[in-house]
Amino acid sequence: MSEVKELLVERTEHILTLTLNRPERLNAISGVMLNTLSAELSKANSDSDVRVVILTGAGRGFCSGLDLQNETVNDREKGNLTQFDLISSPPMMLHRMDKPVICALNGPAAGYGMDLALGCDMRIASDKAKLGAVFTKRGVLPESGGTWYLPRLIGWARATEVAFLGDVLNAKQSLEMGLVNRVVEHDNLEEEVFIIANKIASNAPYSVQSTKRAMRLGMDQNFESAVNTAYLSLLPMFQSEDFKEGVSAFWERREPDFKGR
């Protein structure tokens, strides 16, 4: 395991785990953490050996939001945006990534931390996890993706309920709302997430990434444009070694061994 100050980076075969590492502050996001997390996400997206990214937090919380004692954040709250790079911020990087990202929601996620969780493709929650859409109780709004993700994930009516009331939702409520994929016992969270990550990593990586890209683009396309996008992505796959391996494995009734080529 290699440590980059407030972010832990660990590789297990084709799975990269990024752990927010300020447990004493419930992993409140500092300016340093913003930049480091963005850089690691960008690096993972271009690393052909990485097939799945897991994002989680150290200690008893996932992320309590932006660190309001942090200099960069304070400057932003005062209206000085010169030190806040929205274009390369973690939510933007998550949205652009073709690699699948799983949020291992190990505890409370509030404010910016909730937006980070929503920006992941899947959310596997500990039964101790909570989602705090507390923006309206702080005089702000979900500025880092929440207003875009919420209505798309759970529909307009439920999204307004979550966003306007500003309540903290426990794991069961989050599952009922459709905000998390599944809830598991806290002590089994890491194991369950790795089972899912390994299943994804065992599939053809270009296929997984192209599927994610087509789905992401399709959210803003009409049906014909979405089908054309998928078709154009499909053509080069027919020439890939992984396609040939997939077909061979099917006929030979065995598990495929994809190489990402």
What's this model's pTM, rounded to 2 decimal places?
0.89
- What are the tens digits of pLDDT across the range 224-260? 999 998 888 888 889 898 888 888 889 989 898 888 8
Residues 169 and 195 in one domain: yes
Residues 178 and 224 in one domain: no
Q: Give the span between the Cα atoms of 258 and 242, in whole angstroms.
A: 5
Residues 98 and 181 in one domain: yes
State the DSSP code for 250: H
Residues 231 and 192 in one domain: no
Residues 169 and 211 in one domain: no
Note the pLDDT of residue 87.
73
Q: Which residues of 186-205 are buried (b: 16+ CB within 10 A; e: fewer)?
A: beebbebbbebbeebbbbbb
Q: Give the span between the Cα atoms of 52 and 75, in whole angstroms.
A: 34
159 in any annotated domain: yes
Output the domain CATH number for residue 247.
Answer: 1.10.12
Residues 146 and 226 in one domain: no
- What are the tens digits of pLDDT across the range 107-157? 999 989 999 999 999 999 999 999 998 888 888 887 788 889 999 999 999
Residues 200, 96, 131, CA angle at the centre, nearest 5°? 75
3-state secondary structure 16-72: EEEEECCHHHCCCECHHHHHHHHHHHHHHHHCCCCCEEEEEECCCCCECCECCCCHH
Domain boundaries, position 157: 2-201
Partnered with residue 52 across adjacent β-strands are: 15
25 in any annotated domain: yes
Backbone angles phi, psi at 170, to 5 degrees: -80, 180
Domain boundary among 184, 201, 218: 201
Domain boundary among 161, 178, 201: 201
| Domains contained in the chain, number | 2
Give me the amino acid identity at 166: G
Comparing CA positions, the residue from 118, 102, 117 lying closest to residue 200 is: 102
Residues 50 and 97 in one domain: yes
Residues 188 and 223 in one domain: no
Q: Give the span between the Cα atoms of 149 and 119, in whole angstroms.
A: 7
Residues 41 and 141 in one domain: yes
Residues 196 and 77 in one domain: yes
Residues 211 and 182 in one domain: no
Residues 122 and 233 in one domain: no
